[in-house]
Chain A
Amino acid sequence: MATISMTVNGTPMSGEAEGRTLLSSFLRETLELTGTHVGCDTGQCGACTVHVNGKSVKSCNMLAMEADGAEVSTIEGQAGDDGNLSALQAAFQEHHGLQCGFCTPGMIMAAASLLEANPKPSEADVRKHLSGNLCRCTGYHNIVKAIMAASGQDVGAIAAE
């Protein structure tokens, strides 16, 4: 066991971790930030996606000790300080981009990375970018739509096909 420290959603935090403690476990169990979910053990599902030093990573595929000293952002830090949903979160609600909600934190974190790098992604860009985030509920239709809407694009024609 060793004490590790990181800045999570702007707040310095620390806790004990073993060498084998995953970042996802450290966030969920030690820091009690349970918004980050774990949906697989092979790195495919992306429910555990967080940002480490500004880059999206799968927190179940990273050791907590690898994030020692890092800036970490999780779903809990995405809404504004006033509690208002971010534009991306609001678009997910507006366009019904979530159902059971389990993949949603990872989807939001992955989409936030996309929009930072590519403020006006095409449908193909969005679908490609989400290749590491599985959703079993939505058939992805409204997730893609919500992300495009959050980027300011008119998605009114999409539902009509």
Chain B
Amino acid sequence: MYAFDFEKPSTVAEAVAALGDEDAQALGGGQTLIPTLKQRLASPSKLVSLAGIAEMKGVTIADGVLTIGGGATHAEVAADACAPLAALAGNIGDPAVRNRGTIGGSLANNDPSADYPAAMLALKSTIVTNAREIAGDDYFQGLFETALEEGEIITSVRCEIPDGANYQKFEQPASRFALVGVFVARYADGVRVGVTGASEEGAFRWSEAEAALNANFSADALDGMAPSADGMISDLHGSGAYRAHLVGVMARRAVAAI
């Protein structure tokens, strides 16, 4: 790691101020950032830990809305969120990773194989920052790219609790990140299908599947369906065609589980 300073503010305002310094970077749980720093792939002048900010903690459910503090760990989400998202969080990484990694950190990083993006697209989410609210549909902007501005902090995330939902993840055998993950959420006004891991453009909503499921909410409705293999990630662990196929399989399994 390159040398950097460390700061641990106790309020969002202090954190925002601390992040105003040149090349300062926010530190959530560090489960991706610290390995990145070890590889010397980033050289922040200062890390601003968000772990001491009480207002970014907590997972609550009220009036059909799930609110998760940006500093909530995956383990806390797994313990206290609505069932489908809790199950997703409880399968991120491993127990030690879940005790440190945070939803805000994961969403800010927007790894194309992370689990949360699929859920945020499916769950009518709102990403709340120190400065504004961003609709989940507008938030993800490609691999490791988000709508966040420099120094902007995810303070919480809101999701509308669906009538039914399920997340199916097919793991990359080495990292156990999602080779493909599909989150299906059913609302009174329609079905939303979020897909992670698969596309070179990052997480996306699979609109063809949503349309088919709106017409007939059953796994059979997706029979033979898969997104185009064009633009799917192709690497050591699977071709684009394989990933596209898996999106169909995982989507059918998610629907069947709801």
Query: What is the interface of chain A, defined by CB distance below 8 A to chain B?
Result: 18-20, 22, 41-44, 46, 49, 55-58, 61-63, 65-66, 68, 110, 113-114, 129, 131-133
Contacts and interface: CB of A to CB of B under 8 A. Distances in A.
Contact of B96 (A19, A20, A66, A110): A110
A63 B51 CA distance: 12
Interface in B20-68: 27, 30-31, 34-35, 37-39, 46-47, 49, 51
Contacts of B235: none
Given A20-B2, A42-B35, A43-B35, A66 B30 contact: yes
Given A65-B8, A132-B93, A57 B100 contact: yes
Given A20-B3, A49-B96, 6 more contacts: A46-B94, A58-B31, A65-B8, A68-B8, A114-B95, A132-B96
Contacts of A114: 95
B95 A110 contact: yes
B147 to A, nearest CB: 27
Contact of A66 (B37, B49, B94, B175): B49
A4 B34 CA distance: 19
A65 to B, nearest CB: 4
Given A66-B49, A113-B95, A61 B100 contact: yes
A132 B2 contact: no
A63 B95 contact: no
Contacts of B229: none
A87 B34 CA distance: 34
Interface in B107-122: none
B103 to A, nearest CB: 17
Interface in B84-113: 93-97, 99-100
B73 to A, nearest CB: 9
Given A61-B30, A66-B49, A110-B95, A20 B37 contact: yes
10 contacts: A18-B3, A19-B6, A19-B47, A42-B35, A46-B94, A61-B97, A61-B100, A63-B6, A132-B94, A132-B96
Contacts of A62: 30, 34, 100
Nearest to A18: B3
Interface of B: 1-6, 8, 27, 30-31, 34-35, 37-39, 46-47, 49, 51, 75, 93-97, 99-100, 175-176
A144 to B, nearest CB: 15
A49 B175 CA distance: 18
A92 B4 CA distance: 41
B96 A46 contact: yes
Nearest to A130: B94
A43 B97 contact: yes
A119 B3 CA distance: 43
A129 B3 CA distance: 34
A100 to B, nearest CB: 21
A20 B93 contact: no
Nearest to A17: B6
Given A19-B47, A20-B1, A61-B30, A56 B95 contact: yes
Contacts of B35: 41-43, 61
B31 A43 contact: yes
A73 to B, nearest CB: 13
Nearest to A106: B96
Contacts of A113: 95
Contacts of A110: 95-96
Given A19-B3, A56-B99, A61 B93 contact: no
